[in-house]
Amino acid sequence: MEENKKENNEEILEITENQEGANDGIKIANDVVAVIAGVAVSEVPGVASMSGGFAGGITEVLSGKKNLSKGIKVEADEKEVRIDVNIIVEYGIRIPDVAFEIQNRVKKSVENMTGLKVAEVNVHIQGVKTEKDDDDDKGTDKEV
């Protein structure tokens, strides 16, 4: 049985399993699901980077740590999880193949690690990183 809970203004997904009479609940924050998905996406060939909002980039700069959930949005209800992934692809890579691989890896990782059912993995291509971007030494991505 799964329930959405609000604790400290953060969405928490609670999983309660009755195994051998145990009533212990497992609470998984949406941020945890986002990090699992982010790691899975970062391992897919052809993904140049994650595309997050302005706030995510500022947080990454100020903390000095890589934000593993950057560009990932998780929505959970009582029965399933929906995940949106925003990425920038490398130039020359077949986009449908990259998107399909992301969907498979994210679904497998999240379901295996959390036991939650993944209903959707939506991949949004936010831009293409071209070879010219590397030569400019600016480190910026071309958005299309």
pTM of the model: 0.71
What are the sequence ranges of the domains in the chain? 28-135
| Per-residue pLDDT in tens (0 to 9) along the chain, 144 residues | 444 444 444 566 666 554 443 435 778 899 999 999 999 999 999 999 898 755 454 545 555 556 788 899 999 887 799 999 999 999 999 999 999 999 999 999 999 999 999 999 999 999 999 977 555 544 555 555
11 burial via Cβ count (<10 Å: 0-12, 13-18, 19+):
middle
User: Which CATH number describes the domain made up of 28-135?
Assistant: 3.30.70.1350
- DSSP label of 142: B
Nearest to 93 by CA among 44, 140, 51: 44
Helix (H) or strand (E) holding 106: helix 95-114
Q: What's CA 94's distance to the chain center, in Å?
A: 21
- DSSP label of 91: T
> How far apart are alpha carbons 55 and 65 in whole angstroms?
14
